Amino acid sequence: MSQRTTSKSEQTRERILTAALKVFCEHGFEAASMREIASASGMAVGAAYYYFDSKDALAMAFYQKAQEEMGPALDLVLATSGTLEQRLKGIIRVKFEHFAPNRTLLAALSAHSDPHHPLSPFSPETAVIRDRDIAYFTRAVADSQLRLPGSIHPYLPRLLWLYQMGLIWFWVFDDSLGQERTQNLFDKTLSILLLMIRLAALPLMRPLDRRVADLLHSVFGEPGR
């Protein structure tokens, strides 16, 4: 049966990924070798490459799995909080808490700044993951009544995603105890962000609005979803 086969194949894939995460946790991403991962999973090196395109792809698979696992917690945040502030705080807290045990693993993904690289957060290959992520920000913005210029509004989810990516980047490399510096950065930037959104409604900001909308259009392309 094709069903069973897929399932067994899936199991093997799972087994390799689990072994990889274990090895990553033990020696860190760099120090972990594909040979060790393979033998930890009881398979040959080639098998790991049959299921994953590269070593980095293992880190990406971890991210993808994490995204699925966080789904319910994120839904809960959106269901139980109303203001944008609460929602953003909630969403980002969920992510930090979920990734905390493997925080440094994310550094492997931060390495790919080139949007041409399949594992870059900006690549076409990661578009599905990215869009799923952005969708949460879309929902976070949706029914929170924001008085934001309409021209900027459609870009807000993507901007917030970008903001989150920046925070995560800072967090990944934050050596302070309990990553308190990131917490500090988060508190302060969020408060500025919300204040700016409030100020953006003032007529004085009109010239700024126009320019920002123009900029966003040329960076992100069409405003439509």
Partner DNA sequence: TGGTTATTTTGAACAGGTTCAAAATTTCCC
Partner DNA sequence: GGGAAATTTTGAACCTGTTCAAAATAACCA
147 binds a copy of itself (CB under 8 A): no
Closest-CA residue to 194 (of 87, 93, 53): 87
Sole binder of a copy of itself in the list 44, 100, 195, 201 (CB under 8 A): 195
Distance CA 205, CA 203 (A): 5
The token pair that represents 146 in the structure block: 């924001």
Q: How many CB atoms lie within 10 A of CB 74?
A: 21
110 binds a copy of itself (CB under 8 A): yes
Tell me which residues in 7-46 interact with DNA (CB under 7 A).
8-9, 12, 32-35, 42-46
Q: Read off the DSSP letter of residue 12.
A: H
Question: Are 105 and 119 within 8 A, CB to CB?
Answer: no
The residue (of 45 and 194) whose beta carbon lies closer to DNA is 45
127 binds a copy of itself (CB under 8 A): no
35 binds a copy of itself (CB under 8 A): no
Distance CA 181, CA 31 (A): 27
CA 76 to chain centre: 18
183 binds DNA (CB under 7 A): no
Amino acid, single-letter form, for residue 199: L
The residue (of 51 and 161) whose beta carbon lies closer to a copy of itself is 161
Q: Which does 116 bind (CB under 5 to 8 A by kind): DNA, a copy of itself, none?
A: a copy of itself
145 binds DNA (CB under 7 A): no
The residue (of 112 and 139) whose beta carbon lies closer to a copy of itself is 112
189 binds a copy of itself (CB under 8 A): yes
Q: How many CB atoms lie within 10 A of CB 55?
A: 18
71 binds a copy of itself (CB under 8 A): no
Nearest distance in Å: CB 64, DNA = 17
Distance CA 133, CA 104 (A): 20
Question: Are 136 and 78 within 8 A, CB to CB?
Answer: yes
Q: How many CB atoms lie within 10 A of CB 219?
A: 9
Nearest distance in Å: CB 98, DNA = 25
112 binds DNA (CB under 7 A): no
The site for DNA (CB under 7 A) is made up of 1-2, 4-6, 8-9, 12, 32-35, 42-47, 49-50, 53-56
